[in-house]
């Protein structure tokens, strides 16, 4: 969801330093830059560690994830200070993000212990079946292999070095090679060192985790092309995600890419809700839009409603709130530049009216919020109005009737979320729109705001293309472990040769399995 | 696993007729050929039927699958007669294949009823949680959308019109558009009519299933490119599968392709087994190799063993058995031509020795079996020796020691299966080789033959590239339903708006769900 190619392409590798987000100025000592031989070494180490790591028992792996969480917390305030400097995000947000990062690791420790992800299935032999006997068949999920994870600019902790992709891949039994985001080398280095300490404390092979840093795209390209890498996790811009996808598909052996890329997260204001509380919704909407300078994948970039008094009240209230919205530092100078250009382009589109801009910030990289409006007719005739502007920019689309609302929904690309603001009188309309929304989004929420993604079992942070490159998965929540697994079937294997969890005498500890097609909790 | 481009590219569409596999001659009346407008109409109908079909209750959908099975059986012997003519396969095999096709449909009826595929998850709200309340989150799997299925040449029933891909997609709630294999238009038409009767009997929209037939690749290409198609199932040649994959990836909205393509299915003869029963294994091997003219995706095209008396006995016995192996009609003249060319090419490779050819058949399209041998050194120095020759051709690779066996395994591309022939004294070696095999194959079997794929819960008919285009799934067995599903999360939705199975008062009937992370059988 971000576009910061400008920051990534720093040619002078001898001066790869932290850049203070607030000033755009390099600070501190230069970081050593990794090269292609480091990519090779990291992938070789990951490949060599794979069989040993995937054969660790569940308790060992769970404790390893918990140890990473402990070591990250043990870094103390140095981590928060580095992240504030490099991302420009405020302390409270980063402390919260650290809590979320640790929570994710602990969630996956629990997932690993549960063993449900093993997907155990046993179809016992039927030696007397006619016309042919049935063999003994047993199935389990195994990890795909070493995973390349790309750190995200907008979550220096929760979607980066030890973020969701790393946690779910390690939980699945995959070694991880992280390509750290160039905007936060110091934050990434501190977390990578913490993971290294956890590896040592748990007696695991060092190749279970490697961290590569440097400017430019060469490192990342080489990583995705390395034949030992079996899957890719990415959160970033549409351009970046599609570039990695193309590299992965052009390999002699193509691999899955889980890229979370682009979403404008439509918010639907249904008639009764709009009539009863249009003004209150407008103010609350601006709170969600401008939080963290709007730098969330789930930022509400599109509002849909039928025109009338309710929508007028929403717009008036939102406009007022936006005029006084404070500008805050954006993640990188490149992201700030892309945001400013995106807002300028939208303002120049025929049929698009600027409702308000937020306050100008003090710093050169502060994102000034922007609110636009247009008609359904104009929106439907210019697909560029549906493209993401990463930052605190949103567009209110006035529809003449419910049919136009539906037509705009059906015209949308794939999205991470859709939000319904509704009262009980709106339930029939919500029910009618639900199938069209389900076909286009990964999460449908009511009477809230899409920002704030709960790390939970029933969360989906994903969705149809181009929200992600693979709608069959999620990048947040416990279901994410499935991304990095594939099934293997064992037929008539001797007990001693079978994987331990598939043997007749396996210590099951409540791990569920499908026995002859029926769920067996053992 | 087949290559019959020659047969598919028949330019004269006005004379699209059945071709008798035994003679290569067209027979019967010409079939109407579908055009691009038919592709458009089929996809429009599938798209229009999608929401209605996916909202059918589980019992309705299960009964529909059972009704298809019933209608296929009700066609009677006409179906078998047509399939014999068009495929050249013997009656007993086709009657067995019909039984398997019906069994698959019934298996998926049971899967649909179980409801486990819904993947229900509920994380109840925690309104008092600090610092932020947790919303109510509910998750279910929904079908991807209309699926394009390509009929296979080598299973005119079980992997074609109402085959595994169709059954699993319909079970998941996806309408299906089949592109029938041009080698069996009559067989396909009879099955498609049976599905049509089942749709009518169950009162479902006609667009739930469409059947397109014709020569050439245009129909299939248009189908994969149609924006309303959400996924593709294919069983066929590597070239064909990769062509569809490229089309799917180049779409404005890329879609998943499940292509089962190419595998030589290594058979490992471990030392103790070879010493105790080398000769018996040789004879049994030839039985698996030559069954059905070797036209199985899981045909054993590679044998690996350490040289010595045991392997000599295996080779002597296999050679003798092969010399008397009867030749039988191959599926199409194109497949026969590709097989003959593949055998000829292998015979001309340096370091490859022809051990024996089977009997010459009476017909012009009979496949004459072939057995070769080579050394591990030669095999490792020429990657083309690892390419599939579709038909009854296999190569025995003599290794000097266990290390060479391992090196050959590590050199192999992805495979559907690996077979171990082993005695109890071989268990240590099997255990040592298992991790390398798991990383390369979808199914590992002991003391049997890879041909014969059980339709079961614990089956994996899949494997790493190029065995398939997506190792994360299977094309046979109940797990195949997962291919056509993706997760959607519902946050704070009113009970009346939630999908029925996620409501508090859902009639659960034992459908499992994850409640706050714990399995709940309700």
Q: What is the CATH number of the domain that holds B277?
A: 3.40.309.10
CB B511 within 8 A of CB B118: yes
Q: Is residue B490 included in any domain, yes or no?
A: no
Contacts of A443 in chain B (CB under 8 A): 488-491
- Closest residue on chain B to A140 (Cα): B458
* B49 and A CB contact within 8 Å: no
Contacts of A131 in chain B (CB under 8 A): 96
For A113, left (φ over 0), alpha (ψ -120 to 50), or beta? alpha
Q: Is residue A415 included in any domain, yes or no?
A: yes
| Residue B385: CA count within 13 A, CB half-sphere | 27
Say whether both A197 and A247 belong to one domain: yes
CATH of the domain at B157: 3.40.605.10
Q: Is residue A491 included in any domain, yes or no?
A: no
- Verify whether the Cβ–Cβ distance A488 to B422 is below 8 Å: no
Active site residues of B: 260, 297
Distance from CA of A241 to the nearest CA of B (A): 13
Q: Measure the CA–CA gap between A198 and B102, rounded to whole angstroms.
A: 53
Residue linked to tokens 């819960």: B457
Instruction: Give the pLDDT confidence of B249-295 residue by residue, as tens digits.
Output: 999 999 999 999 999 999 999 999 999 999 999 999 999 999 999 99
Q: Measure the CA–CA gap between B373 and B391, rounded to whole angstroms.
A: 17
* A370 and B CB contact within 8 Å: no
pLDDT number for residue B14: 61
**Range A307-316 average pLDDT:** 98
Task: Report chain B's mean pLDDT, rounded to a whole number.
Answer: 95
Say whether both A186 and A153 belong to one domain: yes
Mind giving me the DSSP string for A404-420?
HHHHHHHH---EEEEEE
Contacts of B134 in chain A (CB under 8 A): 454, 456
Say whether both B205 and B301 belong to one domain: no
Q: Is residue B499 included in any domain, yes or no?
A: no
Distance from CA of A431 to the nearest CA of B (A): 5
Q: Measure the CA–CA gap between A38 and B14, rounded to whole angstroms.
A: 61
* A465 and B CB contact within 8 Å: yes
Q: Phi first, then psi: what are they for B483, rounded to 5°?
A: -55, -30
Say whether both B129 and B278 belong to one domain: no
Mind giving me the DSSP string for B353-388?
EEEEE-PPPSSTTEEPPEEEEEEHHHHHH-GGGGS-
User: Which residues span the domain enclosing A371?
Assistant: 266-446
Say whether both B215 and B315 belong to one domain: no
Instruction: Give the pLDDT confidence of A157-206 residue by residue, as tens digits.
Output: 999 999 999 999 999 999 999 999 999 999 999 999 999 999 999 999 99
| Residue B230: CA count within 13 A, CB half-sphere | 28
Q: Measure the CA–CA gap between A441 and A437, rounded to whole angstroms.
A: 6
Instruction: Give the pLDDT confidence of B208-258 residue by residue, as tens digits.
Output: 999 999 988 999 999 999 999 999 999 999 999 999 999 999 999 999 999
pLDDT number for residue A1: 46
> Residue A522: is its pLDDT beyond 90?
no
Of A454, A485, A489, Cβ closest to residue B459: A489
In terms of Cα–Cα distance, which of B242, B87, B231 is closest to B152? B87
pLDDT band, very low/low/confident/very high, at A4 (cuts 50, 70, 90): very low
pLDDT tens by residue, chain B, 522 residues: 444 433 333 444 567 999 999 998 999 999 989 999 999 999 999 999 999 999 999 999 999 999 999 999 999 999 999 999 999 999 999 999 999 999 999 999 999 999 999 999 999 999 999 889 999 999 999 999 999 999 999 999 999 999 999 999 999 999 999 999 999 999 999 999 999 999 999 999 999 999 999 988 999 999 999 999 999 999 999 999 999 999 999 999 999 999 999 999 999 999 999 999 999 999 999 999 999 999 999 999 999 999 999 999 999 999 999 999 999 999 999 999 999 999 999 999 999 999 999 999 888 899 999 999 999 999 999 999 999 999 999 999 999 999 999 999 999 999 999 999 999 999 999 999 999 999 999 999 999 999 989 999 999 999 999 999 999 999 999 999 999 999 999 999 999 999 999 999 998 888 999 999 999 987
- Verify whether the Cβ–Cβ distance A414 to B253 is below 8 Å: yes
Of B420, B441, B448, Cβ closest to residue A135: B448
Q: Measure the CA–CA gap between A238 and A469, rounded to whole angstroms.
A: 9
Mind giving me the DSSP string for B117-183?
GG-EEEE--BTT-SSSPBPPEEEEEEE-S-EEEEPPSS-TTTTSTTSHHHHHHHHHT--EEEE--TT
Query: Omega before B131 cis (within 30°)?
Result: yes
Instruction: Give the pLDDT confidence of A448-492 residue by residue, as tens digits.
Output: 999 989 999 999 999 999 999 999 999 999 999 999 999 999 999
- Closest residue on chain A to B139 (Cα): A458
Q: In this structure, what token pair is assigned to residue A159?
A: 């979607």
Contacts of B55 in chain A (CB under 8 A): 435
Query: Omega before B211 cis (within 30°)?
Result: no
pLDDT number for residue A362: 86
Q: Coil, strand, or helix at residue B491?
A: strand
How many Cβ atoms sit within 10 Å of the Cβ of residue A114?
20
Q: Is residue A398 included in any domain, yes or no?
A: yes
pLDDT number for residue B15: 75
pLDDT number for residue B121: 98
Say whether both A109 and A184 belong to one domain: yes
- Verify whether the Cβ–Cβ distance A462 to B487 is below 8 Å: yes
Contacts of B460 in chain A (CB under 8 A): 139, 487-489
Number of domains in chain A: 2
* A254 and B CB contact within 8 Å: yes
Q: Measure the CA–CA gap between B289 and B452, rounded to whole angstroms.
A: 12
pLDDT number for residue B10: 40
Distance from CA of B473 to the nearest CA of A (A): 7
Q: Measure the CA–CA gap between A475 and A485, rounded to whole angstroms.
A: 14
Contacts of A247 in chain B (CB under 8 A): none
**Range A38-56 average pLDDT:** 98
Q: Is residue A522 included in any domain, yes or no?
A: no
What residues 174-203 of chain A have any CB closer than 8 A to a CB of chain B?
A: none
CB A64 within 8 A of CB A53: no
- Closest residue on chain A to B493 (Cα): A446
pLDDT number for residue B390: 95
Task: Report chain A's mean pLDDT, rounded to a whole number.
Answer: 95
Distance from CA of B132 to the nearest CA of A (A): 10
Residue linked to tokens 């996809």: B43
Say whether both B230 and B372 belong to one domain: no
Instruction: Give the pLDDT confidence of B150-183 residue by residue, as tens digits.
Output: 999 999 999 999 999 999 999 999 999 999 999 9
Buried b (16+ CB within 10 A) or exposed e, B464-489: bbbbbbbbbbbbbbbbbbbbbbbbbb
**Range A339-347 average pLDDT:** 97
Counting every residue written for chain B, the total comes to 522
Say whether both A439 and A477 belong to one domain: no
Q: Measure the CA–CA gap between B180 and B38, rounded to whole angstroms.
A: 13
Say whether both A205 and A278 belong to one domain: no
Of A132, A458, A521, Cβ closest to residue B137: A458
Q: Measure the CA–CA gap between A165 and A258, rounded to whole angstroms.
A: 9
- Verify whether the Cβ–Cβ distance A434 to B472 is below 8 Å: no
Say whether both A288 and A400 belong to one domain: yes
* A141 and B CB contact within 8 Å: no
Say whether both A216 and A328 belong to one domain: no
Q: In this structure, what token pair is assigned to residue B133?
A: 């309340």
CB A389 within 8 A of CB A368: no
Q: Measure the CA–CA gap between A185 and A32, rounded to whole angstroms.
A: 10
Q: Is residue A11 included in any domain, yes or no?
A: no
Counting every residue written for chain A, the total comes to 522
Q: In this structure, what token pair is assigned to residue B141?
A: 């799997």
* B92 and A CB contact within 8 Å: no
Q: Measure the CA–CA gap between A370 and A331, rounded to whole angstroms.
A: 17
Contacts of A110 in chain B (CB under 8 A): 517
Say whether both A52 and A196 belong to one domain: yes
For B308, left (φ over 0), alpha (ψ -120 to 50), or beta? left
Instruction: Give the pLDDT confidence of A394-447 residue by residue, as tens digits.
Output: 999 999 999 999 999 999 999 999 999 999 999 999 999 999 999 999 999 999
pLDDT number for residue B373: 98
Q: Is residue A459 included in any domain, yes or no?
A: no
């Amino acid at each position: 969801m971000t576009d910061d190619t400008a920051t990534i392409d720093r040619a002078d590798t001898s001066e790869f330093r932290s850049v203070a987000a607030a000033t755009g100025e390099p600070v501190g000592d230069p970081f050593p830059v990794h090269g292609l031989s480091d990519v090779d070494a990291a992938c070789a180490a990951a490949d060599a560690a794979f069989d040993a790591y995937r054969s660790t028992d569940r308790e060992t792996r769970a404790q390893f994830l918990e140890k990473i969480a402990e070591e990250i917390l043990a870094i103390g305030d140095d981590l928060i200070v580095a992240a504030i400097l490099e991302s420009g995000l405020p302390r409270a947000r980063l402390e919260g993000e650290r809590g979320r990062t640790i929570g994710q690791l602990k969630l996956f420790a629990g997932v690993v212990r549960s063993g449900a992800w093993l997907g155990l299935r046993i179809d016992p032999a039927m030696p007397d079946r006619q016309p042919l006997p049935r063999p003994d068949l047993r199935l389990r999920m195994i990890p795909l292999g070493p995973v390349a994870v790309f750190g995200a600019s907008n979550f220096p902790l929760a979607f980066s070095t030890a973020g969701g992709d790393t946690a779910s891949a390690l939980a699945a039994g995959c070694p991880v090679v992280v390509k750290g985001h160039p905007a936060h080398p110091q934050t990434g280095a501190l977390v990578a060192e913490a993971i290294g300490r956890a590896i040592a404390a748990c007696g695991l092979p060092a190749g279970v985790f490697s961290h590569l840093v440097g400017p430019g795209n060469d490192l990342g390209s080489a990583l995705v092309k390395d034949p030992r890498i079996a899957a890719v996790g990415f959160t970033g811009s549409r351009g970046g995600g599609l570039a990695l996808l193309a590299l992965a598909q052009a390999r002699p052996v193509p691999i899955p890419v889980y890229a979370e890329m682009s979403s404008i997260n439509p918010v639907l204001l249904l008639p009764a809700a709009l009539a009863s509380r249009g003004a209150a919704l407008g103010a609350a909407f601006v709170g969600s839009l401008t939080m963290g300078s709007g730098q969330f994948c789930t930022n509400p970039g599109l509002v849909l409603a039928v025109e009338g008094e309710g929508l007028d009240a929403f717009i008036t209230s939102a406009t007022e709130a936006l005029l006084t919205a404070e500008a805050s530092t954006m993640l990188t100078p490149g992201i700030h530049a892309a945001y400013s250009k995106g807002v300028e382009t939208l303002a120049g589109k025929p049929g698009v009216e600027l409702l308000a801009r937020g306050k100008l910030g003090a710093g050169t990289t502060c994102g000034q919020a922007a609110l636009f409006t247009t008609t359904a007719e104009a929106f439907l005739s210019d697909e560029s109005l549906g493209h993401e502007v990463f930052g605190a920019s949103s567009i209110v689309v006035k529809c003449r009737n419910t049919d136009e609302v539906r037509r705009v929904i059906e015209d949308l690309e794939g999205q991470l979320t859709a939000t319904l603001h509704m009262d009980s009188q709106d339930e029939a309309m919500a029910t009618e729109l639900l199938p069209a929304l389900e076909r286009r989004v990964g999460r449908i929420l009511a009477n809230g705001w899409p920002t704030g993604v709960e790390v939970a079992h029933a969360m989906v942070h994903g969705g149809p293309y181009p929200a992600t490159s693979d709608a069959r998965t999620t990048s947040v929540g416990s279901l994410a472990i499935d991304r990095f697994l594939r099934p293997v079937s064992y037929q008539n294997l001797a007990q001693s040769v079978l994987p331990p969890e598939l043997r007749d005498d396996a210590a099951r500890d409540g791990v569920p399995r499908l026995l002859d097609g029926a769920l067996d909790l053992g």
